Structure 1
Amino acid sequence: MQLYIGNKNYSSWSLRPWVLMTQAGIPFEEVRLRLSLAEGSEFKERLQAVTPAGKVPVLVDDGFAVWESLAIAEYLAEKFPALGLWPADAQARARARSVCAEMQSGFGALRTHFPMNIEASLPEVGAEVLRTRPEVGRDVERLTGMWSGLLREHGGPFLFGAFGVADAFFAPVVTRFRTYGVPVPEAVGAYMARVLDLPAMQAWVHDALAEQDFLDFDEPYRTSRG
């Protein structure tokens, strides 16, 4: 299998299937493309050759392309059922799918004002945004409340016990909270530390810091590919 991704410092959507597959031990070939909106760029041309969506991430399995993070996660869960990427319990599995879908479609304020930038440390920006943008604060409150509740309900150490799709889906948010110095409850901070300590996350962060590739995208790209 091949996984097409963008820059590791910025591409939050790419992080989700990459960390899921790497942490679960699913073998794949990484195809990393420099993010670009320009028509005729290598990014556009390579992606349009494998998916009509023209966006990362894309999983290609023996010539068959699956795009969008949630669809990729579902495909992997069906292909590798023994790995338990979703919770075994039916209700827990439904709840995990619910929160992943909520992440996929929601939290627009947080995506816009706290774009993923792993190499940066911007607590002063985070404090100013939280002071002046109440909608971002509401997103943060929803996320931290959700995580706290799931950790209590399932006993940790991850959202549904063992590491799975839901943790991979929120991994980019964990990096955002760290970059912008977002204050969180103690239990949430401990959860974030466990996510960041995962070998797969450590590998992603290492590669992101090594890129030294500073991009300047317009707001529509950030928002649509949050």
Structure 2
Amino acid sequence: MPKLQIILGNRNYSSWSLRPWLVLKHIGLDFDEIIVPLFEGDFKEELLKHSPSGKVPVLKTGDQEIWDSLAICEYLNEQNPEAHLWPKDSEARAIARSVSYEMHSGFFNIRNDMPMNIRRTIDGFEPSGLCQEEISRIIEIWTSCRQRFGQAGPFLFGSFSIADAMFAPVVARFRSYGIEVKGVAADYMQAVWTLSSMEEWATAAASEEWVIEAVEL
């Protein structure tokens, strides 16, 4: 495989960038990073140099460009089958894909009301009714997956998978906004948050100087 390069947004805010970055780190691949600060200067023009979508993340491998977080994760899974980025068991694998795609295509109220902001702790946050429904659904997913498939390790399906990468930004959001999580779901959050790669990302996010004012309100 040619040397990989991933184009990322600000670590503090870009939940979509975090997902495939965690997968790259988990596999242990050698890759370069380019960070394009979102909403800074001519960021859109800069992104269009790397991807036709004009969005992050983008994985570049040789002359090929792969964009969209889940598409990048699927590509990495195909290229690195020994990493077992989806569960080996067919039932677990089907559920892992289902919850990952549910995360990818839904939870719009959480995205809008609780944008990722790793540097910040928000006191007294009260989710709307629709946002609370989505929070409850995520906790239900985490609890069900851990109880059904998590016996072999601390993650949703035991060992780390694409599903964990997809939900990692939600872990960051729940911490920032003080969402109460109990039981096996709380244990799962701790397992994700204390991943060495997650800690590396959060440390780098804390040192960034870029600020997106709309997310800080």
TM-score, scaled relative to structure 1: 0.89
| Partner in structure 1 of residue 148 of structure 2 | 153
2:83 matched to 1:83?
yes
Indicate conservation of the 8 Å contact 1:23/1:199, yes or no. Answer: no
- Post-superposition shift, 1:212? 2.8
* RMSD (Å) for aligned C-alpha atoms: 1.3
Contact 1:6-1:33 at 8 Å conserved across structures: yes
Give 1:208's aligned amino acid.
Answer: A
Q: Write out the 4+ residue segments of structure 1 that deviate beyond 4 Å after TM superposition.
A: none
1:7 to 1, 7, 10: 10
User: What do the CA deviations read for 1:29-80 (whole angstroms, capped 9, x no partner)?
Assistant: 1111111276xx1x22232122110000000011200000110010000000
State the match for 1:221 in structure 2: none
Aligned counterpart, 2:190: 193
Letter aligned with residue 78 of structure 2: E
Aligned to 1:59: 59
Give % identity. 43
Question: What is the alpha-carbon distance in structure 2 between the residues aligned to residue 178 and residue 159 of structure 1?
Answer: 18
Of 145, 150, 171, the residue aligned with 2:168 is 171
CA-CA distance at 1:92 after TM superposition? 1.4
- Native 8 Å contact 1:171 1:195 kept in 2: yes
Equivalent position SS for 1:29 = strand
- Find the aligned partners of 1:59 and 1:217 in 2 and give their Cα distance: 27
Equivalent-residue separation in structure 2 for 1:212 and 1:189 (angstroms): 31
TM-score (normalizing by structure 2): 0.93
Give the distance between the partners of 1:61 and 1:96, measured in 2 at CA: 26
144-153 or 46-55, larger mean C-alpha shift: 46-55
Does 1:215 find its partner at 2:217?
no
- Where 1:123 maps in the other structure, the secondary structure is coil
Unaligned runs of 5+ in 2: none
Give, in whole Å, the separation in 2 of the partners of 1:187 and 1:158.
10
**CA shift for structure 1 position 27:** 1.6
Bigger CA drift: 184-193 or 52-61? 184-193
Deviations 1:136-183 (A, max 9, x none): 110010000110000001124100110110000000000000000001
Q: Does 1:46 align with 2:46?
A: yes
Out of 21, 31, 42, the position equivalent to 2:24 is 21
Unaligned runs of 5+ in 1: 219-226
Deviation at residue 120 of structure 1 after TM alignment: 0.4
- 1: CA distance between counterparts of 2:140 and 2:212? 33
Tell me, in whole angstroms, the C-alpha distance in 2 between the residues paired with 1:184 and 1:59: 34
Decide which of 120, 136, 141 is 1:141's aligned counterpart.
136
CA distance, structure 2, for counterparts of residue 194 and residue 80 of structure 1: 24
Q: How many pairs does the alignment contain?
A: 210
Match of 2:72 in 1: 72
Work out whether residues 9 and 209 of structure 1, in 8 Å CA contact, stay in contact via their aligned partners in 2: yes
Mapped partners of 1:8, 1:192: distance in 2:
19
